[in-house]
Structures are given as structure tokens and as C-alpha cells.
Structure 1
């Protein structure tokens, strides 16, 4: 219901929660029907709803780094397939590049998306159009993104710390119709996941295609659950009412961010905010925020950020937008779904050929999980919201299989987990200890499940006392996780904040840097 003064706030809240409940139901379906440890136990997945123009409508509280960039993926697929999509089609993609190196400002609500956008290769997105059963027009899209623990590449787990090219990180899928008119294309899936990545020197195809295929089918089923619930909502309220409230929810998010920008400028006593931080290799992430109080908008300019790096800390522009939209939503003191409206008042400018706008073949697996954390810290630092958090997802992978010394493919598997840390403190509150922070929201691998399924023993898992940083309001402490490998495995760690400590704020102390230790037993 809409009055002359605007939408009914009660009705708006009800519809916001109804949309979020659809995403939550999709998530429950995905968890119940998946089989991999990373998706079923660690909950490294996200589900969301999108408008017919590809803008994010609503989501459940899943993984922030997924949710901001999924809109890019939906819009790219819309452009790629146009009006050729039909009921029963399901699309699959994981290609991480959006807009190439020529994009300097790409609002997430923009319809101009030139290249297939994503975060990093293990995050595979499944997209399903929701058609009107009468007019056959697209009403919504449902989408799910899951982190698949092995999709090929040079190391089990598909998160190699030494990668210098995207081809070393596993299978890349620009656009694949995994379901065509209701028919699952297993042959095409195997070609993308096994055959193509194995053609690159030193790389292997997916080491455990059975788990990946099963989890992809779980994502397809989760999307269909969303399709059913959205159609039921339209049948109950009528398409006009549902879509009106969908756009009102977006407008409400936009207005909330505009109010935030004005409040921040007044509290800071300045319309210009700046911040800089550095990756462990010295690459700067620099930000200048200019707030226009009259227009209630802001420009976020990352000019001065370092150039593309040879390693894998490059972050595609969709990752930058994910970090920004997360920060905007996190700083709001009103309960609204994270959606595209949060970015409408913002002009995000990303310098060409930088670590935040890498070239087509650049390695990116670390940019999604490490550089993204540094972007969040820099945005929150500029807005004076809180001290730095752990700034790292502490990525641990291990597994077996791939090409042997003779170049013959050997079946195997890959395991992936992120290890918790501490969150930064703010004015009036302590940080939280032993949690995943900011762009990730997964669980850590359960010790009993980990030891039962894999050849490892966890000797210690607990807090790292005093590591959070001193102050009137203390930062949250990190953790210690000691794992013994009981069988020959390939193990790798991809991490940050090992040479540059998480900084304090307002005179507060810095947190303790992370440390990776490898102990080799003599047998």
C-alpha cells in the first residue's frame, strides 16, 4: 500500500522480510542438499534475489563479498543471453573480470557491464530467471553462489598462494547454460571443469568432480525453491504490489545511505575524508571520499592505489563494490536488506591498471579474500567507524591429486577453510574475539568433522590472548589453530597481516600480527 506521503512503513517492512525469507529458504535448501564440507558445514555460500534489471533486491545474511558482486554476474548474463532465455534455463559462471582495465567508475546499479564479472574462480554462481507464467517476461532472477573447494589449477584447493596467472587457479567459466530447457548438461560441465583447466601447463582439472557436480545441483535446486516462493508471492499479492514494494525497498536503502553521508560529514566537520593502508608487500590502498551534502551523495576515489601486482592479490572491480556496499550497510543504524539502493548515492572511482582493476589474465584468488579485507578497513577508517579488524581470512587449503610427475591426471580432493580472528573496536564497544570479520561470514571447520573426513589431527584451537590490541575499548583477540597432517598432502596458506599489524584508532594500540609456522617431523 502506498499513500500520498510515501509507502506504508509497516507494509514495506513486511515485504522486506518476505523477500529476505525467500533468500533464507534458498539457503536452507542449499545447506540440506549439498554434500561438501565447505558448503554444507562451513556455509560458504550465498543466496539472493534480483530485479529484472539485475539489481540486488534482498538477501539473507550470508557472505558479504558474494552479495555485492553477484549483481554484476546477473547483469552480464542478461547482456550475454538477451531475450533468448526461456523457462527451464539455468546459467553458470565464475569468471572474475568486470569492465576490463578501462573502467574508472562503475556503479553497481549501472546497466553497462562489459565483461563477465565475479570475485574469484572457486565461487561459482548459478542464476535462474523467474518468468511470468502468462506473459513469459522475466520478473526476477534467483541466484546462489557457493565456494567449491577444488576446481582444478596448480594446487589442491584452488587457492594457490604462488599463482601469477588466472589460468593457474582452476576452471574459468564465462557463461555456461548448465540447464537448457530443463535438461542438465553433464557433458558440458565436465568439459569446463575437467578438460579445459588441465590444458594449461602445470594445472589440473577438478580433482573431485562428483562433489562439485552434486553441490551445483544443490544450488540449482535452491534457486528453484526461490522461483517457487516468488511466484507464490506474486500470486498472493499481485505483480504490481510486489514490484512496487521491491523498488520502495531499494529507495529506502538509498535514502538511508544518503542520510548517513550527511551525518558523517557533520560529525567529521569536513566533506573530505581520506585513508590509506598497505598490503604486506607494500602496495597502497588509498581512498579519498568527497561528500556533497546538498545532493546527499559521495564520490569514493581510489586514485593513488598501487598498480596491478604479479601475484594473486589483485581484486576485480566487483570485489571493490562488494566491500563498499558492505561498509555502507554495516554503518547504517536502521534495519534494511542489503540491496542495490545502498550504492545509488555513490560514485566509486577505480584507477586503471591498478590492483583494484586488474588485467584479463591476472591472478585474483587472494584479491577476493585478502585485498577485500584491506579495502573494508580503509573505507571504515576513512569514515572513522572502527579500528582495523584481522584484515585477513587466513586461507588454509590441503588435498591430493592432480597431474603427477608424468603429467597423468590422478583423482584426489581439496579442502578449504578460513580461520577466524578478531574484530576491531569502536568508540563505545570492544571488538569480538575468535570470529570471521567483514567480507566473510562463514563458519570455521568443525574439529570433529575435519578429523573424521580428512587425514589430519587438530591439536589446538583456541583464542590468542592479548592479540587484539590495548585501549579503553579493546580489539577482539585472534585464534591459534594447530593441525597435524597424518598423510602426505599438499598444504598451502594464503594470508595477510603478517608484516603490517591491524591499526588502532584514537590512540588505541595495534593488534598483533598473524604468524604461519610449519613444523616438519623427522620420521
Structure 2
């Protein structure tokens, strides 16, 4: 009787009543929650039923994708109809899917990301090895230098500088905008172009990297947060050569400090190809791709992003952030204002967090 009622409610009103699905895809287990309308009863007058499905994230003998398998099981319960594992899932009964995933987190921890190259201004090949020279454990006798994510470095013979600063090799012009080699950057600062790259040489350098098998590249040049032209031309050349993923720091994270900008670009180039493959593989199991389903992924900042805007950089803390947002909503009392400590233990990593009434974004 219950499955019949479920089916009628899901199919009435032209499909207005459909299943809302949330997925937590971890390295070891995947948890799926489905919420769909049912006939209200005296025992449960809410008119909704909640179904929870837990399964292994990797079980290739039974299914190829854990979230999709969890959704299939939920649809069988909600519609009262069988959904064969080897068939594409129908999207007509799905309203939305929200997913938090540790795919990027685990790829970073286990160093299983995409082989990539870093393109930097000439003279800065060791930029990320040196970093900002912070020494958090200054008295540690066994300091281990962190590994970098890239496999190759390409140094571009280019240079721009901000006009009017002490390190500028020439004095600032009285009318800066009249100089042919001075442009106004995106931030409003005047930028002097000291050296424009030889684009034929750049193409040759990138081709050499491409020939090694690298297909993902991160580009981070000096002052590119305000002067983007050189990065954009390098990105265009890289795409022409055949690189399947190109990250420009000036587009991804246009911030004034080159070290964090380079870290962000490299992490994106290292992780995004894997994320895109995962998302594309997930979508391939539905009869119309994602059709008109609303698909949102949890980002590291605790917000949701549409599937087309989800990237490796924003996915690093997708799973952990979802846990924090969840217990902040369900467990924190505004009247008592007692801080909460969250302990999110998975099969690959464990995350500890504290919530005291508001989120801190860093």
C-alpha cells in the first residue's frame, strides 16, 4: 500500500512532487538521503518520508558508481518500481541532488591528482618550494619540506612591474597613461610592461611539456592579478596545443600575493581534471545527463555550487565543510549558545571542527 501511495504522489501534478536527494560521498562509505512525499498518516502527519541508504564507495563487482547506486535504490523505494542496475536512471522523478564529496580531499592527501605543470615568470621556478619562508616549527630538528604538486616548471621570459614603487627600475612618468608601455590594470594600478614574451618561444616550451604526457597546466605570472594579458595569451596557446585543462591564476584567484595565487592555481590544475572526470562519469548514468535536475556540490566554504562551476580548488574541503554546516544547523542552540565540537571520522581522513554560533571564513 505504501509503495502505491508513493508512486501516485510522485507522478501526480505532472511530476511536481519529486524526490530530493542528498549524497555524502566519502573515501570508504557513501551515504544517500532521499526525501519524497507520501500520504500523511496519524503516525506521521508530515507527508514526507525520509530514506537513508549506506553503501561502500568502491564495490566494482556490484556497481560502478556509489552515489548513482544509492540514488537508484532510493528511486526504487520512492516509486515502487524496479530500476535495473545496468539501465540509465530516469530523471523524471528527481527534483534535486546535493552532494558533498571527498574525491578531491583524498586525491590531495594520497597524491593521486592529475600530473600538471606550473608556468611562472622567469626567475621564479622555486617560488612554491620557497613559499613565504614561514617556519611554524622553528625548533623542530626533523623538518620535512612539503612536496609540490607539479611535475614540470616552465619559465616565461616576461616581466611587468607596478609604476611608482621603490623597486621600479625607472622613475614614474608624470603622466603615466601616456606611455606606450604603461597600461592601467584591472585593479586600477598603472603597470609598466618591461618584457613581452616571445610567443613562438612560449609555444615551443609548452609543446615540450605536452610531449611528456602532461595535459594540465597552471599559469601564474608576476602581477597577473591586475595585468592579465600575458597569462591569457599563454592560456590560449596551451589550449591550441591540446592541454585539456588550463588554470589561469588571474581568473581563478586574482589576489595581490603571488605565492597563495600560485598555490591555488596549482591545486586547481592538480585536482580539477579528476573532479570533472568524476562528475562526467556520474552524469553518464542518467537517461538525459542531468536534464533539468538541479545538481549542487558542497564547496570548501560551506556553500553550494552548480555542477558546472564545481572545481578541484573549491572541492578540497567539500566533505568536511558539509559536516560542519550540518551539525551547526541541527545541534547548535541559539538560546544556550554552547559551542560545539565536531569529529568527522572517515576511512581516509578525520576532521575536527568547532562551531560557536557563526562561521569563520579564511
Q: TM-score, normalised by structure 2?
A: 0.22
Q: Which has the larger radius of gyration?
A: 2
Q: TM-score, normalised by structure 1?
A: 0.17
